[in-house]
Chain A
Amino acid sequence: MSSIIKDLPELISHNIISEQTAKNIERYYAAKKEDQGSNTLMIFGSIGAILVGLGIILIFAHNWDNFSKTVKTILAIAPLLLCQIAAGYAIFKNKSQLFKDIAGILLFFTVGSSIALVAQIYNIPGDLEGYLLSWTLLCMPLMYLLRSNMLAFLHLGFITYYAVVAGYFETERPWPYLLLLGAFIPFYLRRLKGHPFGRITSLFNLLFPLSLIITLGAFLAGVGEFGFLVYMALLGFIYNTGLLPKLESRNDYLRLGSVGIAFILLFSSFKWVWEEMETQQVVESYYIILWAILFAGMLYIAIRNGGKQFYKNAFQAVTVLFPVVYLIGMANSVLAAILDNVMVLALGVITVKQGIDKVDFRKLNFGLTIIAALIICRFFDTNMTFALRGVLFVCVGVGFFVANSMLVKKKRANVLNTPEDEN
């Protein structure tokens, strides 16, 4: 890395790269270095603080009988105050990021433990989601005040936990999640702008869309088959976001989006899904609005990315076509099921082809996995004989071997050819 920086003036003087490019390269490595600087110690310090925080909660959850109510109450509040003093000191004296992170994490957990312990001492009723909601709300400003990535991770994790408890285990729609997520977004955007290549940023790029995917279901209780459509719109949105030039090639949006899209298509490739849909009652307008918002968002980003050719990519095309298939399914379940299967197969084949063309093992095997999964799914709703099923499995297995070994050969050939090309 340092040798590249050293060589920059030479490269500029020989007109190999422009001054602007040189600056960009320098900035890139500076950002990367900065990210690595706050590395090991911070990660382990934070993990330590999280463990201590969780430990405090568990120790208190034991519910010590031998202490009087007053002692218990003091024990509930004292750690909170101590951590507040530590965090306040860290801000006031502008201490190191490590100090801020650890103080912040401990404060985060003591806020939770103090509420839990008081509820325990006084047998105060209350459900888990209400508790998680007040906890995360009370700690929401801390990530900004302490400029702490770790607190932002905790925030994202706990609001997702809240939404799951409220939406999946109870029948509430966790609207406060949106507010709490909104509070996280400016932090995330600042991170994306300041350290686009950082490791922590790429972790955010994974966890943020993951949180959206997990939480959407919490808003969809009772949606029925229409849920496939809503999920497809969200996944299309995530996938297209991953194609944004600012994010491309260093994010998990694409990966999560493409896996999710393939998964939804496979799931909806069963005959019974479409048969049930035919008999489904009218879909509530709430779900339609939710879908429309997500679909419009998806289209907006897709068009911004690729103009009129926004559906060129197979995954993008599928997300646009899926609502059409859904409409067909309302009238004719068999046709819709067939179209769905065709789309999965096409997606698999195109991905395999791209994998071979670009010598990308990951893509190749992803495509093959889609095809294999499609075949397995068809075992359940068609009357294939065991002999035929066996043959199909053998074919797919052989396909994996052949395709991968072909790619290995191709890669070797490329490597061998490259030096000759240069000569």
Chain B
Amino acid sequence: MKTKNMFIVFVVVAVVQAFVPLKMIYDTEKINDEGVVYKFKTQPIDPNDPFRGKYITLRFEAENFKTTDSLMDMRQDVYVSIEKDSEGYARVKEVLREEPEEGDYFKAETYYFSTNGLRLNFPFDRFYMEESKAPQAEVAYRKYSTAKNPKPAYALVAIKDGETYLKDVIVDDKPIREYVMEQQE
């Protein structure tokens, strides 16, 4: 191939390379601006990823869905339609095989079925933190949760057209970063 053609192909490749992260940013910013924000009661644990760094994994109360419909396949993609309960926290309204036409919903995965109902995996289960803080977040949360009458920790999630954006994790009414820093002091 001639240098000129090579260069043209390279420019195309470079545009695609840059397009991917930029599209990720654009999509998420859109959910952030236009989505409806829900609070999901949660508990954080700390693992890490070789490339993306330390994060806390979130387990949600709402991932346990009481249902008698045991016909769902495991590890199947489903649509979770969501509503707010009397205290303002997110609650699963329905688990659907088809995309709902109205209301707020997102895509999740069925995990397993037990006597307690259906266990789901929500997609927004990773919250990245500075490497020194992620392990401490887990410890701090554990301490916090064993205290007397703690307010529930929750995740702030913006939802729009089936897409989600995990904005922050709140412990004791503060963003978890601040909470961990306060505990360090």
Contacts and interface: CB of A to CB of B under 8 A. Distances in A.
A54 to B, nearest CB: 10
Interface string A81-123: 1001001100110100000000000010001111111111111
B131 A63 contact: yes
A60 B128 CA distance: 12
Given A61-B53, A141-B13, A122 B7 contact: no
A177 to B, nearest CB: 19
Interface size class of B (residues with CB under 8 A): 35 or more
Interface string B116-159: 00000001111111110100000000000000000000000000
Contacts of B96: none
B71 interface: no
Given A61-B53, A94-B3, A115-B21, A145 B9 contact: yes
A136 to B, nearest CB: 12
Interface string A43-56: 00000000000000
B49 A128 contact: yes
Interface string B93-135: 0000000000000000000000000000001111111110100
A108 to B, nearest CB: 10
B18 A77 contact: yes
A84 B18 contact: yes
Contacts of A81: 18
A122 B52 CA distance: 11
Q: Which of B124, B126, B127 has the most CB of A within 10 A?
A: B126
A375 interface: no
A247 to B, nearest CB: 28
B129 to A, nearest CB: 6
A61 B51 contact: yes
Contact of A91 (B7, B52, B55): B7
Given A60-B53, A65-B133, A125-B123, A120 B24 contact: no
Contacts of A142: 13
B131 to A, nearest CB: 5
Contacts of B7: 88, 91-92
Given A65-B177, A122-B25, A134-B20, A128 B130 contact: no
A94 B1 CA distance: 12
Contact of A62 (B49, B123, B130): B130
A304 B131 CA distance: 57
Interface in A27-65: 57, 60-65
Contacts of A115: 20-21, 24
Contact of A138 (B16, B28, B51): B16
B36 interface: no
Nearest to B32: A122
Nearest to A84: B14
B17 A116 contact: no
Given A122-B25, A125-B123, A91 B10 contact: yes
5 contacts: A63-B131, A65-B130, A87-B14, A125-B125, A145-B9
The 9 A-B residue pairs with the shortest CB-CB distance in the complex, in nearest-first order: A61-B53, A123-B166, A122-B28, A120-B128, A84-B14, A118-B21, A114-B21, A116-B51, A65-B130
Interface of A: 57, 60-65, 73, 76-77, 80-81, 84, 87-88, 91-92, 94, 107, 111-125, 128, 131, 134, 138-139, 141-142, 145
Given A120-B128, A123-B128, A145-B13, 6 more contacts: A57-B51, A81-B18, A88-B14, A112-B51, A123-B127, A145-B9
Interface of B: 3, 6-7, 9-11, 13-14, 16-18, 20-22, 24-25, 28, 49-55, 123-131, 133, 165-166, 177
